[in-house]
Amino acid sequence: MTPAEINRAVLGDTSGGLPAAERRQSPRVPLRCQLSILADRTAPHQLLTVTENLNSRGFYCVVDEPLAAGDQLVCILRLPNRAHCQSCQALRCAVEVVWVQQVGDGRFGIGCRIEDYSLAG
């Protein structure tokens, strides 16, 4: 599957029903995808979460551990496959944490920019 096909399959109608006031270059799509963040600052480990929304340039998710803006991470993003609802397409993404905010339950919301991606093997 080519990157363009992945974008069309996942994003479909990119308007996503969002208000015209959305200022991002690519509107967000409220899509929950499984996400493994491979963080290895002090000891290699994974943070497991789901995306709250994404677009062709990045995603937002909530994690249990604080990360810092500017952190460079590798993530495995599992996108649902519309043709086969039981399977998914996994992408290995190099991302940069753009912003971090503490959410009410002691966890952290992070906005990540996708720098590069490839099909995960």
Contact present, 81 and 9 (Cβ < 8 Å): yes
CA 80 to chain centre: 13
Q: Give yes or no for residue 89 having a pLDDT over 60.
A: yes
Average pLDDT over residues 84-91: 77
pLDDT tens sequence across 91-103: 999 999 999 999 9
Name the residue range of residue 104's domain.
Answer: 3-119
How much is the pLDDT for 24?
Answer: 55
Average model confidence (pLDDT) across the chain: 80
Count how many domains the chain has.
1
pLDDT tens sequence across 37-65: 997 656 678 999 999 999 999 999 999 99
CATH of the domain at 51: 2.40.10.220
CA dihedral (33, 85, 88, 111) in degrees, to 10, reads: -10
Query: 15-19, 35-39, 50-54, 67-71: which range is least confident on average?
Result: 15-19
